[in-house]
Amino acid sequence: MIRTALLVAGKDLRVEARSRVLLWQVVPFGVMALLLSGLALGPQRAGRSDAAPGLFYLVVVLVALLMINRSQGIERAPGTRASIATLGLDPAGIYLGKVLALAVELWLSAVVLLAGAVLFLHTALHGTLLALPSVIETLAALAAAGTLYGALSAGAATATLLPLVALPAFAPLLIAGERSFVAALHGGALWEWWVIVTVALVAYLGVGILLYGVLEDS
Amino acid sequence: MKALVDRLLGPVTLVALAVTVWLGLWVTPPDVHQGNLARLVYVHPALAWVALYLSFGTATIASALYLWPRTRSEVLDRVAHCAMEVSVVFIALTLITGSIWGRPTWGVWWAWDARLTSTAVLGLLALGYLALRRATDDAHVRARRGAVYVLLAAINVPIVHFSVLWWKTLHQNATVFTADRHLLIHGIMAWTLLVSFVAFSLAFAWLLRARYRLEASRGAVADAVVERALDERRREGVV
């Protein structure tokens, strides 16, 4: 399973590295969205870091939706499904591989977006660095959930269906991520929110390992 | 027996709902602090009970059984689908009645409270399920994806249930029992509350049954249309 996961993750990351879509399209879009969020707040409020964690995660979720679409799009390329079926790869391994690749892509995007938050929204650098472990974990949970919802909504109407089915499920993760970011910036109980994200991550990984095969078959 | 249940379920539900209205509006006294506003307690918790536990519980069990190869059947997929549709209606009613109570009590129609927000998220998840089912015409794919989606959405039900304990925001804790199972409502108010739970549970069963029959009829019509088209093609072949 782990071997398959690494194989699939490597394949997805290589596709992403060669196409440069993440670098030249998704990340610039994220930075633009962050900048627009600051503009929407106005010059006075944009510099107040209490709004920054929420805006950061709002942009992250937009980026995540784009990347989930990309991740599933790779599987829909002609011949891909047939090749995977012929190879007889473990569906749980495929799921874990896709989660890993998506998580790596989100982590890379988050590095740029966190720098953008420090620059544009004036979040304290020390607090932002403190928030890094919780951001990493929240994004991993988003990747685990997003890969499942991406597979669920795969088909003709993915672009419009994915946000509808995935965003409500992302909401608890985003709230927990935002709260732990706020706690890292201003002090407060970090671990409570970590527990929620950890439970969600484990639950989604468990469901994905068990049921991704069902979605692959369909 | 089945025919008897079919014939009696509707009238019994209507009688139970009428008794709830009579007890709630005329027999029970107004609350010392909240006056007549407290009468919403005979509607709102029962609606939430159906929305969160009965509907979602039914859909979750049916979906889990559908995914289990030994118990997989079209009937279970239909039950899950119908239960989720009923769930959408009851979640909306729960939020509306909660909002009606919230305006005079909290001063706002909507508050960013953990229970309210998580219930709204659950409602959106239920709507997502209906959208997901409409996204594909293949019945097999639709059923499998729907079943997985319900299992994922069900993770949110305990979050809604425990939200008042975990986050302690505006919404009060459990209305009927304390955490150590101590009854908070007594006398005629407790009995009216019990009747309301029974009445709305019956309403759920009635709606689910009616919706299921409609869905089964729709399936039969679709099968008949396909069968007729095939017959026509065969006859064309013979001619």
* Residue B164 belongs to a domain: yes
For B121, the token pair is 């998220």
Instruction: Give me Rg for the CA atoms of chain B.
Output: 21
**Number of domains making up chain B:** 1
pLDDT of residue B179: 65
Q: Return d(Cα A119, Cα A45) in angstroms, integer.
A: 14
Going by C-alpha positions, the residue among B209, B213, B207, B175 that lies closest to residue B194 is B175
What is the value of ipTM here, to two decimals?
A: 0.80
Cα of B147 to nearest chain A Cα, Å: 10
B-chain residues within 8 Å CB-CB of A204? 152
> Cβ of B132 and A153 within 8 Å?
yes
Q: Is the pLDDT of residue A124 over 90?
A: no
> Cβ of B141 and A218 within 8 Å?
yes
Cα of A139 to nearest chain B Cα, Å: 18
* Residue B28 belongs to a domain: no
pLDDT tens across A133-152, in order? 999 999 999 999 999 999 88
**Number of domains making up chain A:** 1
* Residue B188 belongs to a domain: yes
pLDDT tens across A4-61, in order? 888 888 888 998 889 888 888 889 999 999 888 888 887 777 666 678 899 999 999 9
pLDDT of residue B65: 95
* Residue B34 belongs to a domain: no
**Percent share of chain B, pLDDT over 70:** 96
Average pLDDT, chain A: 86
- At residue A156 the predicted structure's pLDDT band, cuts being 50, 70 and 90, is low
pLDDT of residue A186: 84
What is the average pLDDT across A113-136? 89
CB of B184 within 8 Å of any CB in chain A? no
* Residue B16 belongs to a domain: no
**Nearest beta carbon to residue A211 from set B148, B156, B159:** B148
Helices B139-153, B114-134: crossing angle, 10 deg rounding: 170
Q: Which domain holds residue A80?
A: 2-217
Residue indicated by tokens 């249940």: B5
Going by C-alpha positions, the residue among A176, A166, A187, A79 that lies closest to residue A137 is A176
Q: Which domain holds residue B77?
A: 42-236
- At residue B94 the predicted structure's pLDDT band, cuts being 50, 70 and 90, is very high
Residue indicated by tokens 């659950």: B122
Tell me the sheet residues that pair with B183: B177
Assess contact for A113 and A26: CB atoms under 8 A.
Answer: no
| Contact map slice: B 36-75 vs A, CB within 8 A | 67
> Cβ of A168 and B125 within 8 Å?
yes
CB of A214 within 8 Å of any CB in chain B? yes
What type of residue is B85?
E
> Cβ of B67 and A211 within 8 Å?
yes
